């Protein structure tokens, strides 16, 4: 094993640390998939396709404001904590205050806009309200960024997993009692509250001398770096969730339900590339500053692995996914299986996009990240407006797929971002 690691340029100790961190993240996501899948089967069967569609319409709608509430600070905070660990309290405190203020503003804005888009629809309004409380609690997830910067995600995993299990225990009770769907939206926010309490406990456990310090100058510096990521997050929403909003407004909540089930299955494995990137990101920052040749080798190996993994998943789901959906959820979701065979290929672009986006952040090219995401979002929106009225849920799937592809590879068009993202083309070559 040690010889194999040396052959590919890995340091044994750093590899063990990254692998351990990744294993914890994998454990959390596998737990979420297994438990979440079991609950989803009963949840989706319990409610009509229209009601399930309304639930997902509201969740998709609120996702737009998640980007605003987060201020694009996540990777910026991690980057700064790795580079300047001595400024921990100032970085954590400043980002917390900014996120909290942005979250409160996002709640008000979300309720105003949904009232305009779906006037008189009390169910949609109440669902959006229930989901939006999670913004306040997720502001405190800044403590998780410190664990990520130290490659100590096991503490975050334990905190979030406890919250997840308690929340799903409550969902089981609600399903048994045939509770209205609005209660499940409140459980969504309650889970965020439980998770933040766990994160705070472990953060204090590892840092006895913590202080929450707000620094206006640092806040301005953070926003200067993160504003492209805020817009990028909004653009990501447009090509990940806008189709559900368009389907709901153009064709109705039933089509949202059909499409949402396919989206859920196409995204079920996204935690793998995301978790891997979160684990590898701090190490790549260090190699970028100390050994550029090793940095290039590591990134190529990483991209190569993500590519073959994502293609393999897409092939398997394309072949077997349709049988699984019909077997588990019934014939009323047969269209979802057909939509899934299109959407699952978006995973290839998502994997490469998450990884290449990390490289742009390392090189402080967040504007390029914004521009390529905007192009992808624009592609999805335009194609969605054209294709959804004609092809319905299938038009939504094709517009999303092309949006992802444009988003990832359009970064190569820009001169400044070309060097950082050239690995998208040459990841299979070790000598270039």
Domain coordinates of the chain in residue numbers? 2-426
What's the pLDDT score for residue 315?
Answer: 93
Contact between 6 and 138 under an 8 Å Cβ cutoff? The reply is no
Per-residue pLDDT of the chain (432 residues; tens, 9 = 90+): 444 444 444 455 566 666 676 677 777 778 888 888 888 888 888 888 888 888 988 988 888 888 788 777 777 887 777 777 777 788 888 888 888 888 899 999 999 998 888 887 888 899 999 999 988 888 877 777 777 777 677 788 888 888 889 999 999 999 999 899 999 999 989 998 998 888 888 887 777 777 777 778 887 887 777 777 777 677 766 666 778 888 887 887 788 888 888 888 888 788 788 777 777 777 777 766 676 677 777 777 778 888 888 899 999 988 888 888 888 887 788 888 888 999 999 888 888 888 887 777 777 777 777 788 788 888 888 998 899 888 888 998 999 899 888 888 887 777 766 666 666 666 666 655
Q: CA neighbours within 13 Å on the CB side: how many for 272?
A: 18
């Amino acid at each position: 094993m040690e010889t194999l690691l040396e052959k590919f340029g890995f340091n044994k100790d750093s590899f063990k640390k990254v692998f351990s961190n990744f294993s914890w993240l994998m454990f959390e996501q596998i737990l979420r998939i297994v438990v979440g899948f079991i609950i989803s089967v009963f949840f989706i069967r319990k409610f009509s396709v229209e009601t399930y569609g309304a639930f997902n319409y509201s969740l998709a709608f609120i996702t737009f404001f998640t980007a605003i509430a987060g201020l694009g600070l996540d990777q910026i905070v991690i980057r700064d904590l790795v580079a300047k660990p001595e400024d921990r309290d100032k970085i954590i405190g400043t980002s917390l205050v900014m996120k909290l203020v942005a979250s409160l503003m996002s709640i008000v804005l979300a309720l105003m806009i949904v009232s305009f888009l779906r006037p008189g629809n009390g169910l949609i309004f109440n669902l959006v309200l229930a989901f939006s409380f999670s913004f306040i609690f997720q502001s405190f997830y800044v403590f998780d960024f410190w664990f990520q910067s130290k490659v100590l995600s096991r503490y975050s995993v334990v905190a979030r997993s406890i919250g997840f299990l308690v929340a799903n225990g409550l969902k089981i009770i609600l399903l048994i009692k045939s509770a209205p769907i609005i209660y499940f939206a409140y459980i969504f926010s309650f889970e965020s509250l439980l998770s933040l309490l766990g994160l705070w406990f472990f953060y204090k456990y590892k840092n006895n001398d913590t202080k929450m310090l707000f620094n206006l100058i640092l806040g301005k510096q953070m926003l200067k770096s993160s504003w492209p990521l805020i817009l990028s997050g909004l653009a990501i929403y447009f090509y990940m969730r806008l189709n559900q909003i368009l389907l709901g407004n153009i064709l109705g909540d039933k089509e949202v339900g059909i499409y949402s089930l396919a989206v859920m299955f196409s995204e079920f494995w996204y935690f793998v590339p995301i978790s891997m990137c979160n684990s590898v990101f701090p190490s790549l920052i260090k190699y970028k500053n100390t050994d550029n040749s090793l940095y290039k080798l590591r990134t190529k190996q990483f991209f190569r692995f993500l590519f073959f993994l994502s293609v393999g998943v897409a092939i398997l789901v394309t072949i077997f996914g349709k049988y699984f959906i019909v077997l588990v959820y019934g014939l009323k979701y047969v269209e979802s299986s057909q939509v899934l065979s299109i959407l699952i290929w978006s995973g290839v672009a998502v994997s490469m996009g998450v990884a290449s986006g990390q490289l742009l952040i390392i090189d402080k090219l967040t504007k390029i990240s914004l521009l390529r995401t905007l192009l992808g979002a624009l592609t999805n929106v335009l194609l969605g407006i054209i294709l959804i009225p004609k092809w319905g849920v299938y038009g939504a799937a094709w517009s999303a797929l092309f949006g992802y592809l444009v988003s990832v590879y359009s970064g190569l068009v820009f001169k400044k971002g070309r060097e950082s993202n050239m690995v998208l083309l040459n990841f299979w070559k070790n000598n270039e």
